[in-house]
Amino acid sequence: MYARIPEHFLTREQEELRRTAQRLASEKIAPRAAETDATSQYPHDVFALLREHGIVGMTLPAEYGGAGASTMDLCVVTEELAKVCTTTALMPVLTNIVGIMLIKGGTEAQKREYLAPLATGEVKISNAVTEPDAGSDVSALKTRAEKRGDRWILNGTKCFITGAGLSDYYVVFAKPVIDGERQGITGFIVPKDAPGLIIGHIDKKMGIRGMPTGELILADCELPEDAVLGKIGDGMKLLLTTMTRNRPAIGARGVGLAQGAFDAALDYCRNRKAFGGRLIDMQGLQFKLADMAIAIEAARQLVHRGAMLLDAGIEPRQLTAILSASKCFATDTAMQVATEAVQLLGGYGYSMDFPVERLMRDAKHLQIVDGSNEIQRVLIARALAE
């Protein structure tokens, strides 16, 4: 199909990664995608498949059991997975998010304890930031962590937490209070069986139904002193660094979804006959397909540019504009292309018997998560004003 990454653009190793991911996606993951969506059940067998092929923790350092893969490597693999199942494409991205947090903010003891099982997929760890009154405005979070002797007591409610009820640990961000004095936002590593941690409401969602999202309730949740991720007060800096570095991977999910929707629409238009000819021969539809192909390739190049700059060692704070642009444009493209794909397939596009309606629902998720696209535009504008 048009718009596949040219082989000469990738290294030999990246092309091998892409082919492996493509084969797994077409042979093993695509047949499960519709069922996963319909049942809203997490596909444990698909996660096991990614574990088996070293994809789950591919970006984590080799010394901790990962493959030491680059951001670009992750984007290549994520795109292939997202062509058939956006839920599956989220699995290595989630590991990457928490992995960055542990690498950048964790103590050496925390890295040894959590990174190896995270890299191999033995444990799942979720990031828990969002609250009912604190989403894009992280500084408004109300969850408190009070120091009592050598213990931390957490109280608060988190919502829209990816992996709620599924993960083995949660990195919960809260505002500590020590001797009556409030401290800056801080991350805490909370095991699923911590006293006082309650899994609340699990959301019924429009898309990404195979990945549970829901509520965490911390009711006098008791943690040991070493549950603090890194240093007290470093949470906001850690969050900003992590989310910024992860944006190309979210963008790659958008590119992959758009490519999957485009491929389905192109195949349909090549084979569907109406008014004495194929749909692909009608100029009005040709223009739609051309615009879709242009947008996908532009999004891919923007995502890859951001990934390569990160891999070159440039600090994320210097790349805010391009990384936000890559996430924003790629996920907006996913929504645009998926919507057009539904239109091109007509009644079939609106049917659950074809994948494009599922991809359209999943695309909306991408425009909201990891900093909504409105927030991305704010970040881009601020960078322009500096």
- Residue 265: DSSP 8-state: H
Phi/psi zone of residue 179: left (φ > 0), alpha (ψ -120 to 50 degrees), beta?
A: left
Q: Express each pLDDT in 225-277 by its tens digit.
A: 999 998 999 999 999 999 999 999 999 999 999 999 999 999 999 999 989 89
Question: Please, are residues 172 and 158 in contact by the beta-carbon 8 Å criterion?
Answer: yes
How large is the average pLDDT for residues 322-327?
97
pLDDT at 1 over 50: no
Q: Express each pLDDT in 350-365 by its tens digit.
A: 999 999 999 999 999 9
In this prediction the pTM is 0.94
How large is the average pLDDT for residues 117-137?
94
User: What integer pLDDT is reported at residue 386 of this predicted model?
Assistant: 82
pLDDT at 124 over 70: yes
Q: Which domains does the chain have, with CATH numbers?
A: 7-120 (1.10.540.10), 125-231 (2.40.110.10), 236-385 (1.20.140.10)
Find which of 8-17, 79-88, 377-386 is predicted with most confidence, using mean pLDDT: 79-88
Q: Express each pLDDT in 191-224 by its tens digit.
A: 999 999 999 999 999 999 999 999 999 999 999 9
Q: How far is CA 291 from CA 142, 263, 304, 330, 331, in A?
A: 45, 14, 20, 14, 16
Reported confidence tier of residue 2, pLDDT bands at 50, 70, 90: very low
Of 112, 62, 129, 120, the closest CA to residue 95 belongs to: 120
Looking up tokens 């009556």, which residue turns up? 180
User: What integer pLDDT is reported at residue 10 of this predicted model?
Assistant: 87
Structure tokens at 202: 């699990």
* Backbone phi, psi, residue 33, to 5°: -65, -45
User: What integer pLDDT is reported at residue 230 of this predicted model?
Assistant: 84
Q: Report which secondary-structure segment, H or E, holds 181.
A: strand 181-182
How large is the average pLDDT for residues 113-129?
96
User: Residues 6 or more apart from 58 whose CB is under 8 A from it?
Assistant: 66, 67, 69, 73, 74, 77, 92
How large is the average pLDDT for residues 276-283?
93
Percent of the residues in the chain that have a pLDDT greater than 70, as a whole number: 98
Percent of the residues in the chain that have a pLDDT greater than 90, as a whole number: 91
How large is the average pLDDT for residues 113-124?
96
